[in-house]
Structure 1
Amino acid sequence: MKTKLLYIIGLWGCLSLMSCGDDDHLSPSDLDGDWYVLTDSEDPLDHLRYTVYETYGIPIFYNDTIGRQDRGVDNAGVPIIYYEILNPNYSIESSTEYAQYELSDNPEAITVGVEFIRDEIFPRLVSPKLYPRSFLLVKTLTLNAASTTASYRHEESTYRGMMTSCVSQVEEIAGMTDAEIKRMACRVAAEEYTTYLMENASSLLEAFLNVCRAEVTSVNLYALSLTTSSTPPYVANLEEYGFLSYDKETTYNPSRSQVKTVGERADVLDYVTEILTDDDDTFEAKYGSYEYVMKKYELMKTVMERLKTVLE
């Protein structure tokens, strides 16, 4: 028995030495590059993107194919070409196509889009912790794209994914007024703040979310279908319940008194957008008669102040 034990120990030791020897000769496969690194270019548009990347470390793309790599040949001698594709829908948990987009082929419009992100978006993000992995400029952006009902799909100006944040309407930016540009910039920036709040600082949102979770009524109002017979009942103005919008991915039928409220993330996004817009007078003129809207507005102000203090 003792001899057998010594033999096993000796064999294990030899295997360990062989393993260590193999490790000494390991080297990178070079199959995976860093696709998010930009290099300078003589092309004016790509040079502009590079200058923004140099400053902020975040690439701006206008093509969803962001890399190409030759990987030798297969057994039949056919070249193996790998393409790295930006996928706004990429998720560890799901592969559903939620965001659908159309790319732009207009260099002038894309140049304006890059300048928009440089001049309007990055200055509104007070910390690199808020930055997405990349930005993708697109012509159009449709959310809830997998829906079989066309009326449930809706156009948006921005969408935050794990691989990239889409910024839409790139061909329309040049024709926007200053007020429209500011509004869009606040919405894009709000996507980044909302993502950070929901994922990393959710405790800051408790008082804000509790207004619609429990304060307005004893029923949690988030993502709730309202009709005349529901509890609580349908109201013509969701502002009475503290909401600034309705769930665009479901049916809104005022003639039948039917609507669904937004979920928590969409509600946070709506209010963060308003806080970034920083126009108390206009907001109060529009919503001043709605008690819960005004309360949530003040609560979100506090949230953003506390968050910026932490991030800065």
Structure 2
Amino acid sequence: MALHPKIAEIVANLPHPEGPLDPVAMRAGDEAQVAPLAERLPLHAVEDSVAHTPTGEVPVRIYTPTEADTYGVLVYFHGGAFFLGSLETHDHVARSLAHEAGLKVIAVDYRLAPESAFPAGLDDCYAVVRWVAEHGGELAWDETTLAIAGDSSGGTFVAAVAARAHDDGFEKITHQVLYYPSLDLDFDEDRYPSLRENAVGYGMETAGLAPFNAFYLDSGADPADPRVSPIKRGDLTGLPPALILTAEHDPLRDEGELYGRRLREAGVDATVTRYAGAGHGFVQHFGWIPDYHKAFEETAAFLQGGGK
């Protein structure tokens, strides 16, 4: 189907960056769009804290949906091409996840490129997941559900963290949720049909992938490294059950769907849902549209349906 009319109206008025990208200015622009606190979805508690980990002190924001004795936990990694995004810009996503799934959500304020070289951000994400398991009593973790979720580049980190945990023998991650993930940072347009089919006119454009990811790649992230491009990992056996949501009009659509097929071929319980009429970023930017708020409902059903 065509791009959803409400999305199409907004996309038609998006500015097109010209010249070199300025991370500082772009971050400031994103922060300026954040809704005031009074307009955000209310929860039982929202608290800023710090996870003391082997990689250092990692800022986190803890979302508690309701009052209870224990909670399942979901650790959330925001998107932003590895150089954008923050606890503030994705606060509404974390709130919706906590509200719909009924889990305690811990959002990770991981280090960004270009100021922090690869694998700093990935290390922070993995360290916080381990920190949750090690401090379960303080967090009222039920020691049953420990999920990880992320959108776009956050989805990259989800796949990489799940693989790293498996390789380390850390088997406590019960679910992985990837929203329109970036899983192959080799942006050759011939690699996936969606890179050509959705190249122009749907918000994020194929020609913008290389410059937007350049800060990360130039910091030492090698696209041939499975930690950077998780789809290049040879053995996907033993990974946690996965939910992968893709967008019909996303250049990254096909790599996400291929990853889901490869997980199933490796014996992993993997569900892939393509959201019709959507472009990249629909969970973050268009979750207020009922057709796309369903992403949170689908996530909740997946997380409540059991894991390993």
TM-score > 0.5, shorter chain as reference: no
Which has the higher relative contact order, 1 or 2, with Cα contacts under 8 A spaced 6 or more apart? 2
More helix by share: 1
More strand by share: 2
Larger Rg: 1
